[in-house]
Structure 1
Amino acid sequence: MKTPILARFGKSTEIETPPDIESAVLRSDRFRLEREADWRRLEDILARMEKGSMRRVTDAELLALPALYRIAVSSLSVARETSLDRATLSYLETLVQRAWYQVYGPRQGLFAWLRGFLFGGWSRAVRGIWLDVCIALFVMVAGTVVGWFLVARDKEWFYALVPTSMSDGRVPGASREQLAETLATHDSSEGLSIFAAALFSNNAGVAILAFALGFAFGIPSLLLLVHNMALLGAMLWLFSSQGLTFEFAAWLSVHGTTELFAILLSGAAGLHVGRSMAFPGERTILQAASESGKRAAVVMIGVIVMMIVAGFLEAFPRQLVDGAEGRMAIGGALLTFWLAYLFLYGAKRRAGEA
């Protein structure tokens, strides 16, 4: 093969191309011609997807995308092994990177994910573990009843169930006036704030552990819920013994309807993982744990949100609002909101899509 070049004095001449270079050029051209149609088709699909024009990508093209990606990867591998021209290598490397992002890369950004999480993703995950929520709720109610009756039968159980850091004068034998004083807003800077901080810290730890211990077939999670709610049952008995049941429930409801709901969901999430591992069905235990873990993780992200809200409620509304009626109104409104959002929001639309 001869290649013309421009001579020094304007005359054209030809030089002989070495056989090895000529062979490499022909091999590269043949390699490109045989596969270029698939590369161009992949590039065209990627260009439309990268512009956000998903409506212009047909179902057939979406189905063909993984196969075209594998063809491009194979072509790049062959090109590297046979040392094809640098232009072809660069083109294929760029094409494969773009295709990988569309096939395996993240489907959406942070804000898009957050929007999907808040507008349906979280509530769907909670509804997906509804059976575990019912079981956890039953266990929590049972734990409260057990704590009540244990202390009612023997007051020594109160000291076994309620940590000293959380009692602070709220002990059997305290007068009605003393107990009512601990619920007053003017005392919030001392005893009330200490009790609130201890209660929040305890409940946050319980929520994390209830989920983390779910891998042991959910049993530790249920036992933890029983123990934590027995503490609440003991406190309810204490205030009820002095006729302050409504006042204590109102004080607790401002943040408790959010905080205890978060504990309920975390226990249900842990139980969901454990129950799927104990009864995997036709799946392997690892497959069952993986599938249930993804759903439970979404629920736990929501639990973190609820704990943040509960912390805000402890710091401000509960300590600024005086009167049992006002506190109960806030707690009732929050409970209604969580129930409607998690169990009713998007349910009809989801059923219609199914």
Structure 2
Amino acid sequence: MVFPGIPLFRKAAIETPPDIEAASLRSDKFRLEREGDWRRLEAIVVELEKGRLRRIPDEDLLALPVLYRQAASSLSVARETSLDAGTLAYLESLVRRAWFQVYGTRTSFIAWLRDFLFGGWSAAVRTLWLDICIALAVMIAGSVVGWLLVARDSEWYYALVPGQFADTRRPGASREVLQEALQGTDSGEGLSVFAAYLFSNNSAVSIMAFALGFAFGIPTLLLLVYNMAVLGAMMWVFAQAGLHWEFAAWLSVHGTTEIFAILLAGAAGMHIGRAMAFPGQRSILAAAATSGRRAAQIMAGVVLMLVIAGLLEGYARQLVDDPWARAAIGGTVLLFWLAYFIALRGRGEESQA
């Protein structure tokens, strides 16, 4: 038995409506007219993504910006005229990849590290000179406050200095006991663990000084004052025993790097806080984002400084006993950092000078 509706249904399923057929022909014609340039652009992009720049002919490299703009124009037309989904997806992927090769950064990690160490970091630090001066003044004031508080009442020492530092190094301790606390060790056994602990402790202080800057920099200032007040209190204890020079030499081995790193971390945090408190014509979020990028670059270098400080504190300070040798190490490291941050300029700065 034959149902009269079935042949009609089959015919409708096989036939393509005229508007769809016209759109398909238009899409095919659009693709065929431009497909050669798209394939050429894709081949160039693939070679660039694989790092094979030398394999690309000069004429292709010169044509890359033109081919990219043509593909971007084709993508715009494809979106406006609602071409087939396959062509649209292909063009979107191709234009995205080509944009990165034309306008995006292609700097390798080694190249970035070279630019960072040989000019980028020092240039970023110099832009924060005002925040560094403020942080330095606050840190000096904190050490003076710690000294004066303990000199007035020795009980302040126990309120300021953490328990692990106030073992034998406390007010009233004899010169011999305090001098023994400054002695190093003849063996390097276990010093790697000690250096790792010191790096962790110093990193916590620096990260806190940086992170608290988002509260308009006020907590950063308080942390810098407290951290240096601890140092001022300990300086008073050793000075009362006549060991001020020995203590300064002992501290200088790692302190010239460690305190410098904390200074930069505090300045970076204050830079963000100052930008948020006085954003000018920008919004607070925009000011925080701009200053945060610069401060983050400085903090990347602070991490490197803290690693060096941990190694100096865990090894050099423990293996070297002579105060003059310790002072020589600390002084040399300090001169290195000053010369690095003041004298070293990147290629961009040299061209402006």
- Shorter chain as denominator, the TM-score bin is 0.7 to 0.9
Describe the superposition over 1:245-287 as per-residue Cα deviations: whole angstroms up to 9, x where unpaired: 1111111111111111110000000000000111111111111
2:226 corresponding residue in structure 1 = 227
Shift of residue 229, structure 1, vs aligned partner: 0.1
1:212 corresponding residue in structure 2 = 211
2:73 corresponding residue in structure 1 = 71
Describe the superposition over 1:122-169 as per-residue Cα deviations: whole angstroms up to 9, x where unpaired: 111111111111111111111111111111111111111101111111
The TM-score with structure 1 as length reference comes to: 0.80
Name the SS of the counterpart of 1:107 in structure 2.
coil
| Structure with larger RCO (C-alpha < 8 A, sep 6+) | 2
After superposing the two structures, state which structure 1 stretch, 219-228 or 64-73, moved more: 64-73
- Structure 1 position 82 matched with structure 2 position 71: no
Q: Do the aligned partners of residues 312 and 322 (structure 1) sit closer, same or farther apart at CA in structure 2, a change above 3 Å counting?
A: same
Q: Do the aligned partners of residues 41 and 278 (structure 1) sit closer, same or farther apart at CA in structure 2, a change above 3 Å counting?
A: farther
Shift of residue 108, structure 1, vs aligned partner: 2.2
Structure 2: state its 5+ residue gaps.
Answer: 1-14
Shift of residue 309, structure 1, vs aligned partner: 1.0
Name the SS of the counterpart of 1:82 in structure 2.
coil
- Structure 1 position 337 matched with structure 2 position 336: yes
Shift of residue 95, structure 1, vs aligned partner: 2.2
Shift of residue 204, structure 1, vs aligned partner: 2.5
2:262 corresponding residue in structure 1 = 263
Within 5 A, what are the aligned runs for 1:1-354?
23-24=22-23, 26-32=25-31, 52=53, 70-77=72-79, 81-83=82-84, 88=87, 92-102=91-101, 105-186=104-185, 201-346=200-345, 350-353=349-352
How far, CA to CA, are the matches of 2:197 and 2:164 in structure 1? 7
Name the SS of the counterpart of 1:185 in structure 2.
coil
2:8 corresponding residue in structure 1 = none
What residue identity is the alignment partner of 1:336? L
How far, CA to CA, are the matches of 1:62 and 1:230 in structure 2? 61
Number of residue-to-residue matches in the alignment: 334
Q: Do the aligned partners of residues 94 and 315 (structure 1) sit closer, same or farther apart at CA in structure 2, a change above 3 Å counting?
A: same
Shift of residue 211, structure 1, vs aligned partner: 0.4
The TM-score with structure 2 as length reference comes to: 0.80
Q: Which runs of 4+ in 1 moved over 3 A?
A: 17-26, 32-54, 60-70, 75-79, 88-91, 103-107, 186-190, 192-203
Describe the superposition over 1:306-335 as per-residue Cα deviations: whole angstroms up to 9, x where unpaired: 111111112211111110000111111111
How far, CA to CA, are the matches of 2:17 and 2:325 in structure 1? 93
Describe the superposition over 1:17-42 as per-residue Cα deviations: whole angstroms up to 9, x where unpaired: 98958735641254247767985896
Calculate the aligned-residue CA RMSD, in Å: 3.8
